[in-house]
Amino acid sequence: MSEGATTWTILSVLQWAQNYLQSKGISETRAGAEVLLAHCLQCSRLDLYLRHDQPLADEELSCYKKGLKRRLAFEPTQYITGHQEFWSLDFMVSSAVLIPRPETELLVEAVLKHLRRPEQQTAGPWILDVGTGSGVLAVTLATELPQAQITAVDRSWEALEMARENARCHRVEPQIAWMLGDLVEFLSPQMNFDAIISNPPYVPTADWEQLPPDIKNYEPRLALDGGPDGLEVVRKLIPTVSGRLRAGGLLVLEVGQRQAEAVKEIMDGQGILAAAGIIQDYQRIGRVVLARRLEASKSKIE
């Protein structure tokens, strides 16, 4: 693709880019080509087709070529544009944070369903997001629950900075307290929550080694690698946060393929939690595991 010698229109450059990316073994070529061009033209993907015969200026072609070059190195489109949609909201992302996936929206749905039940209509509610990353869970819940008070924890300072910026953009920063740390041991003993939500690292190390270059070479390993069986962090997380739930409070965890039953057993083994279900994702994989905090009188602990 050359600048100046040929008059490139939106449609012709899209067709060329899609074929070129496909020939180089890049996945999701059509969506990627459209997102990158829309980013350079500062328009929506729909606008690309409404303006399909519009010629591109040299600087627009130059921007597009730079984006395609980065994509040819398998850099995710989201990191090139710096944005990803989640829950119909726009979030800023970088290589410091995991790219939000559609299945993670299931965690939001589960928390909203729980907290909107009549018996859960508390003054707060108080929510804890462990491993907040880009802040998609904390920020989305804050937009849906204007009265909620949310504590978001992450062990990456860069991730917290990104999450804060997303909260500012969506005007929910006053609802969210940001904390740097590993899990929640450092929280005040007085802090208890109506819901605790987390998308922890759950990819087994051997599987992480085999991930596509788009993921392995760019997304933070800290947010993905869950140890030998993928449950290393989960085994630490569940007993740590269980005591932080108020009676009847909900624990919501995203898990990997073939992990849901094992996580359910860990929850049941705490003595103060009762597994409350497994939610399948769009591929019928058990993706979200739920547990509720038992009333003190119903605790299994002797």
Q: For residue 166, what are its two tokens? A: 């997303």
Nearest to 136 by CA among 92, 177, 95: 92
Helix, strand, coil percentages (3-state) for the chain, rounded to 5, are 45, 20, 35
The whole-angstrom separation of Cα 3 and Cα 61 is 7
pLDDT value for 302: 38
Q: For residue 252, what are its two tokens? A: 């919501």
- CA max distance for the chain: 81
Nearest to 237 by CA among 209, 213, 206, 202: 202
pLDDT value for 301: 42
pTM for this prediction: 0.89
The whole-angstrom separation of Cα 199 and Cα 260 is 13
pLDDT of the chain, 302 residues: tens digit per residue: 555 557 899 999 999 999 999 898 888 889 999 999 999 999 999 999 999 899 999 999 999 999 999 999 999 999 999 999 999 999 999 999 999 999 999 999 999 999 987 665 566 799 999 999 999 999 999 999 999 999 999 999 999 999 999 999 999 999 999 999 887 777 777 788 999 999 999 999 999 999 999 999 999 999 999 999 999 999 999 998 888 999 999 999 999 999 999 999 999 998 899 989 999 999 999 999 999 998 765 554 43
CA-to-CA separations, 184 to 17, 131, 162, 179, 198, in angstroms, rounded: 46, 10, 20, 9, 12
pLDDT value for 121: 59
